[in-house]
Copies of this chain bind each other. A is one copy, B any other.
Amino acid sequence: MLSAEIIAVGSELLTPTKADTNSLWLTEKLNEIGIEVKLKTVVGDDEARLEETIKDALRRSDVVISTGGLGPTEDDVTRQVSARAVGKELIFREDVLAEISERFRQIKREMPEINKRQAFVIDSAEVLSNPNGSAPGMLFETDGKFFVVLPGPPRELKPMFENYILPKLREKAGEIFVKRKIIRVAGMGESAVDEAIAPIYLQYQNPQTTILFNRSEIEIHLAAQAETESEADRLLEEVAEKIADRLGIAVFTISDQTMEQVIGNLLTEENKTLSIAESCTGGLISERITEVAGASRYFIEGVIAYANEAKIRALNVPKELIEAHGAVSGEVAEAMAKGVRERAKTDFGISVTGVAGPGGGTAEKPVGLVFIGFSNAAETKSIKMNLPGDRYLIRWRASQAALDFLRRKMLKNLTTE
């Protein structure tokens, strides 16, 4: 397996607010063709450190990719430093200048004198055209190693890498295809998932399985490696199917969809409509549902009944019910779900009421106590949950639990815990 290192150049990437994200995208592309990233460096506009970094990387790894520092100003040092690091001169190329000038002509601006600097390239490097910016990239091969010099802006870097570099690297790496699949699970804890599927994934070195815990979803990442794309797909399918079988209804997607997309598809397929009544989630569930383009086909109305008077007036929750059980109760959750469904005349109504914190908790009704309601023409039900986390996480987990309750009800197969 070939090894790669990625070097991000730019002093702004060494500030507290800016992270290098190009390397994540590059890593994904490299992994797909079976090249492993072994080290990443972020270095400022600092000639000595950059030169040392490039030299070290070329000594240790088969592929070295630098991003950024190719702009036209004084503090863009990648051009001269990368030439120095590989023991070459920078040479001025008329044909490169012509291409840069042409680009300025196309966007109807005069080329500033300063941009001529970008026509200097490493002697004997292959020059990579940049249709989205003025800085050309470079590919330099030395001792069987690839040194790739790319501009920093993602919209310049990505097409350049995909069009020029990826085909060459694929050839160099040999026919290895790495494909990935994401399975998402709701309504089960991390250790329960691991316990259930470990007997499956431990049988396979390939695909590799990683379990990630992400807010309130468990994600199971599979990565398969094979000599052909279809073989990698087949390996993925085989394990994904076994895992999905084992976990049953807790799996809500095996194709990288979000919960709100899954719900949207189910509602569209069954030609059903939805309305939502929220208290502690404050609009989050409706916001998630409407993030999906085309949600107007099935989503009719949402009510955020934050105050008790709003629950009574807008959702027809009986005042006596709130007085008897409190606003945070299964009875009120059910009345909210039924109330919004009847008001909006939809097939389904769902609701959430709970204590998101940090204040407002009591011994009897602590922070994290949440009731989820569901109502259709046939039945109105609620479930009770105790969700861990801070205000943000409790709200997010409550929204996920409500959508998952609806999903399970629609699949007519609810398993209460």
Contacts and interface: CB of A to CB of B under 8 A. Distances in A.
Given A287-B282, A303-B304, A307-B300, A27 B21 contact: no
Contact of A53 (B39, B46, B221, B299): B39
Contacts of A281: 287, 290
A17 interface: yes
Contact of A301 (B17, B52, B305): B305
A295 interface: yes
Identify the interface centre among A25, A287, A358: most chain B CB within 10 Å of its CB: A287
Contact of A284 (B14, B39, B287): B287
Given A41-B39, A52-B56, A293 B16 contact: no
A40 interface: yes
Interface in A1-49: 14-17, 19-21, 24-25, 27-28, 31, 36-44, 46, 49
B16 A31 contact: yes
A294 interface: yes
Given A17-B24, A38-B44, A306 B310 contact: no
A31 B31 CA distance: 35
B25 A37 contact: no
Interface in A276-335: 276, 278, 280-287, 289-291, 293-296, 299-307, 309-310, 313-314
Contacts of A307: 296, 299-301
B283 A287 contact: yes
A302 B306 contact: yes
A38 B27 contact: no
A225 to B, nearest CB: 14
Contact of A40 (B42, B278, B291, B303): B42
A282 to B, nearest CB: 3
A392 interface: yes
Contacts of A302: 282-283, 302-304, 306
Contacts of A296: 306-307
A396 to B, nearest CB: 11
A283 B290 contact: yes
Given A15-B27, A39-B41, 5 more contacts: A14-B36, A17-B221, A52-B60, A282-B287, A282-B290
